[in-house]
Chain A
């Protein structure tokens, strides 16, 4: 999984509670991404980072925040979890090369909000 770990791998939480997911990379890649994957929707970008403390919103950012204080760590926080945020969350990293924008994915975190 290209030196990417995600924690936790599985989590069940209650509606209204805050949740933080962690992505850790050992590749020293500049770009990091958080996606959610739901049946019929493919992968949808939540937030991404292009450097330490540099982040931007993706297409489904409402209800989520991120932080990146170190190159290797990218945190995704659900401020107040809702049932609609039940999903599988993937972190990805990339290092832009001249000829490609390859993204490498972590193993995913399955989050269930009850």
Chain B
């Protein structure tokens, strides 16, 4: 119930295409769903986050889609650029202890 399952493990997308990464969770008590971006040799950095009271959140080229009934959420990167090549992690948290439960990560490569 504490797990967050992320797919795919790796993804190759052509420049200008749409990158889609999916996550699924079991614990309905989760109330905060962030996505983090990590470049090699660096710590993860918060990219965008959503709460379950909305179905979509957009920030620039990055969009989170949230499906509460299916217990799934996804990250969409529009007009993907080579600079987006990184590892992306989804996570989930419930308010009582502020801990994040992390997905295993997706290595995204954008081909120029």
Residues of chain A at the chain B interface (Cβ within 8 Å): 1, 31, 33, 40-45, 48, 50, 56, 58-59, 90, 92, 94, 96, 99-108
A45 lies within 8 A of B99 (CB): yes
In this complex, the member of A40, A101, A104, A108 whose beta carbon has the largest number of chain B beta carbons within 10 angstroms is A101
Which of B6, B100, B102 is within 8 Å of A101, CB to CB? Answer: B100
Classify the secondary structure of B's interface with A: loop
Check if B104 is an interface residue, CB within 8 A of chain A: yes
What's the A-B contact tally at a CB cutoff of 8 Å? Answer: 55
A107 lies within 8 A of B46 (CB): no
Report the bound CA distance from A114 to B51 in whole Å: 43
Which of A90, A94, A107, A108 is within 8 Å of B98, CB to CB? Answer: A94
Can you offer 15 A-B residue contacts whose CB atoms are under 8 A? A31-B98, A40-B9, A41-B104, A42-B6, A42-B103, A42-B104, A43-B102, A48-B99, A50-B98, A99-B51, A101-B93, A102-B49, A103-B46, A105-B44, A108-B42
Report the bound CA distance from A108 to B42 in whole Å: 7
A61 to chain B minimum Cβ distance, whole angstroms, is 12
B2 to chain A minimum Cβ distance, whole angstroms, is 8
Check if B12 is an interface residue, CB within 8 A of chain A: no
Q: A43-B89, A102-B49 are in contact. Are A58 and B44 (CB under 8 A)?
A: no
A sample of 11 more A-B contacts (CB under 8 A), given A40-B9, A102-B46, A104-B45, is A31-B98, A42-B6, A42-B103, A45-B100, A92-B43, A99-B51, A101-B93, A101-B95, A101-B100, A102-B49, A106-B43
Residue on A with the closest CB to B100?
Answer: A103
Chain B contacts of A96 at CB under 8 A? 98
A107 lies within 8 A of B42 (CB): yes
